[in-house]
Structure 1
Amino acid sequence: MQPATDTAVMAYKGLDGVPLWLLFGIAILALVLFGIAQARKRK
């Protein structure tokens, strides 16, 4: 296999079959929820 296709497959399938975009989505969602929780605590 060529390195370019390897990278594309990694980006699509990610680690252990979990797509990287899904991991990024979960991370962003967690940060947003954490921010909302912090904002509510301050009020």
Structure 2
Amino acid sequence: MSKAPAVPADLTSSAFWTLLDRWQVPDDPALELLGHGSGLTRKNT
């Protein structure tokens, strides 16, 4: 099993979500990229 490349320390949350919005990546797969497997909050954030 290969590990995902490390995220640069200077990548801000805003830059991450802006990029994934541009690439039209849905929120659930984007959260998986971050290692956040529990999904969105009740407010869909």
Query: TM-score scaled to structure 1, two decimals?
Result: 0.31
Higher Cα Rg: structure 1 or 2? 1
Q: Relative contact order, CA 8 A, sep 6+: which one is greater?
A: 2
Query: TM-score scaled to structure 2, two decimals?
Result: 0.29
